[in-house]
Amino acid sequence: MLFRQLQYLVAVAREEHFGRAALRCNVSQPSLSSGIKQLELRLQVPIVLRGRRFLGFTNEGKQIIEWAERVLSQHDAMMAELSKMRGSLEGRVRLGAMPNSSPIIPLLSRLLRKNHPDVEIDIHFMGIEETIIGLQKYTIDVGVTYLQSELLSGLKSLLIYDERLSLLVPDTEEYEGISSITWKEAASLPLSLLSGSTHERKIVDDAFAEAGEKPKSYVTSDSIMNLIYHVMFAGLVTVIPQNFLLMSGKFSGVRAIKLVEPEVSQQVGLVWSSTEPIMPMARAMVSIIKELKASGKLEEHWG
Amino acid sequence: MLFRQLQYLVAVAREEHFGRAALRCNVSQPSLSSGIKQLELRLQVPIVLRGRRFLGFTNEGKQIIEWAERVLSQHDAMMAELSKMRGSLEGRVRLGAMPNSSPIIPLLSRLLRKNHPDVEIDIHFMGIEETIIGLQKYTIDVGVTYLQSELLSGLKSLLIYDERLSLLVPDTEEYEGISSITWKEAASLPLSLLSGSTHERKIVDDAFAEAGEKPKSYVTSDSIMNLIYHVMFAGLVTVIPQNFLLMSGKFSGVRAIKLVEPEVSQQVGLVWSSTEPIMPMARAMVSIIKELKASGKLEEHWG
DNA sequence: ATGCGTGATAGATAACACCTATGAAATTAT
DNA sequence: ATAATTTCATAGGTGTTATCTATCACGCAT
């Protein structure tokens, strides 16, 4: 049962703990232990660094894990294909999404649940580069990211929506009646922005740069939710994707103002590996996006 | 032991015969039979059409085979990676090559044997489209084809050499002293050309078209060797890649003449899947090509 | 009919994947 | 220091199963 052993191995890699890994695999801890040992015996190479507890993997082990994940990914895809042939798609979609796409993910999962009630969905938020690596290494099935990246060669993609940037401000008299604002003007306001060197932050910086500004950010955070809270409770303003606010009035005490000169627009879409045949989970997600776009639910979602 | 069962399945698919498949897998025929049956049981789906002999596969079976090949491809890659870690690369390279590249393949296999004596090589000649499909379906590890095809997106490639076309003529006084000839002139000679709608034939047709000619082919064959024989024994002329003849005097009674106006040149290179990490067999072939190009053996090979 | 090829079936055996119970070493708490 | 806890390995037993050899059943050709 080599497949099982590979599953044990990746479980140990994820949990870094034999007991929890066994739990995740629904076997007893000794079974998992001996499974790993059998694997090392058959592959003729030590994999786990063992002192009286889990100490990590050997270099060979790390490589084996990468391959094991690929093997299992294909295995799971085969099983999914089979379940579909038998009637209903079963299994798990591993979705890698950029945080900016967070508000629309529920639309996807809702449709997924409707069309394929037996499919679970694992959502992991990650950066664009990480998403692409995940697709290449088969640790995720599909990604949701910006499409215009150069990194997407060798991958297939499908547009979901255009992301527009807005300025989020407190709903006070200071900003009353303002329906649009230029980046230049915004630069002089008390800003809180996303941190780091992410693609998302770069878009904002580029837009300011195009308006000849290089504003400093009073508060820097890696969480959009946290930025919104800063607008609510600290009187700062921030730049967020429109879709975070356009679902009518889910946040109170804040308002979104259109940012112009320039009007920044980014394509957000589904990305998946261009293998042939297409992995069944990826295909399922693609048809869901198509259904979503055709149904008009997207526009409805954000008014 | 699902892996074994998948191997049984693809063996049956290849051999279309249970006994030979068992032989190939080094197990007895009943073992293989029950292995297949176990697989059908576990996957809950009939795979093989059974009357008192092998009658083909069900539709589900055909799909399962595709996935099985992908799974096993990753499995074999993992095993190869492991053997490399343990000292020497072991396994089998599945090479898909276009027939035109036939003369240089021995150079590759010779270097492969030198660098990796434990690696076997399976050479299958096939068309460009077939090669690309094979790479996508993981039925081959690397391909040798023309590089300028549009179909190569999502694949990695490395130039091996430039293919030039020559006119092959009988070594008689009729063609004595002629060292180059135009496509226009060649069009009026008794031609024998490759058949079909292959990429290789299209290049020849395009060259003639560029010279304003659309010659008819007295003899049409899908074998370059056969075309050469027609030049030798039927007094016809043909268009062949230079490299078929430039290895000094392996064919007697024929001569190659340079074809000009236009001078046709096609890049021939190694192609492989752009997965990450790169499959070990593909990596081995890549480094062999690099070594070959650096060593100057290629130029030496054809004078 | 007779013989041959092909795959399924029967019965026996050895391997092994799994379990529970327990042990040994290291870390943490008292 | 001593005890408790955590963590993984080991021991022994059990049921499953992958494999083998030997044989059978069916189709097909001579």
Which tens digit of pLDDT belongs to each residue from B52-77?
Answer: 788 889 998 999 999 999 999 999 99
Name which of A1-5, A288-292, B127-131 the model is least confident about: A1-5
Over residues A66-70, the mean pLDDT reads 92
Q: pLDDT tens across A254-279, in order? A: 888 889 888 888 899 999 998 878 99
Architecture of domain A93-303: 3-Layer(aba) Sandwich (3.40)
**Taking the alpha carbons of A290, A293, A295, A297 in that order, is the dihedral positive or negative?**
positive
Over residues B200-214, the mean pLDDT reads 87
pLDDT of B48 strictly over 60: yes
Q: How far apart are CA B126 and CA B146, in angstroms?
A: 12
pLDDT bin (cut points 50, 70, 90) of residue B191 is confident
Q: Please report the pLDDT score of residue B249 as a whole number.
A: 57
Query: Which has the higher per-residue pLDDT, B216 or A155?
Result: A155
Determine which helix (DSSP H) or strand (DSSP E) holds A106, and give its type and residue range. Answer: helix A105-115
Q: Is A150 on the interface with B (CB under 8 A)?
A: no
Name the DSSP letter for residue B278.
Answer: P
Q: Say yes or no: Cβ of B31 under 7 A from any atom of strand D.
A: yes
Q: How far apart are CA B249 and CA B302, in angstroms?
A: 10
Q: Is B153 on the interface with A (CB under 8 A)?
A: yes
Say what the pTM is.
0.83
pLDDT of A248 strictly over 50: no
Written as six digits, the tokens of B219 are 């003899």
pLDDT of B299 strictly over 90: no
Written as six digits, the tokens of B143 are 């391909």
Using a 10 angstrom Cβ sphere, with 0-12 exposed, 13-18 middle and 19 or more buried, the burial of residue A42 is exposed
Over residues A109-113, the mean pLDDT reads 85
| Interatomic distance A4 CA / C15 C1' (Å) | 17
Report the residue of chain B nearest A134, measured CA to CA: B276
pLDDT of B141 strictly over 80: yes
Architecture of domain B162-266: 3-Layer(aba) Sandwich (3.40)
Under an 8 A CB cutoff, do B67 and A45 touch? no
**Phi and psi, residue B154, nearest 5°:** 85, 0
pLDDT of A77 strictly over 80: yes
Q: pLDDT tens across B118-139, in order? A: 888 888 888 888 899 999 989 9
| Residue carrying the six token digits 């879409």 | A269
Q: A157-173 burial, b for 16+ CB within 10 Å, e for fewer?
A: beebbebbbbbbbbeee
Q: Which of B1, B43, B82 shows the shortest C-beta gap to A64?
A: B82
| Interatomic distance B31 CA / C15 C1' (Å) | 15
Q: Is A85 on the interface with B (CB under 8 A)?
A: yes
Q: Is A180 on the interface with B (CB under 8 A)?
A: no
Determine which helix (DSSP H) or strand (DSSP E) holds A35, and give its type and residue range. Answer: helix A29-43
> What residue ranges do the domains of chain B occupy?
2-69, 162-266
Q: pLDDT tens across B7-37, in order? A: 999 999 988 899 889 988 889 889 999 999 9
Name which of A99-108, A153-162, A180-189, B39-48 the model is least confident about: A99-108
Q: Please report the pLDDT score of residue B68 as a whole number.
A: 92
CATH code: domain B2-69 is: 1.10.10.10
Chain A residues in contact with B82 (beta carbon < 8 A)? 43-45, 60, 64
pLDDT of A247 strictly over 70: no
Under an 8 A CB cutoff, do B276 and A136 touch? yes
Query: Which has the higher per-residue pLDDT, B114 or B243?
Result: B114
| Interatomic distance B1 CA / C15 C1' (Å) | 12
Written as six digits, the tokens of A215 are 């504003």
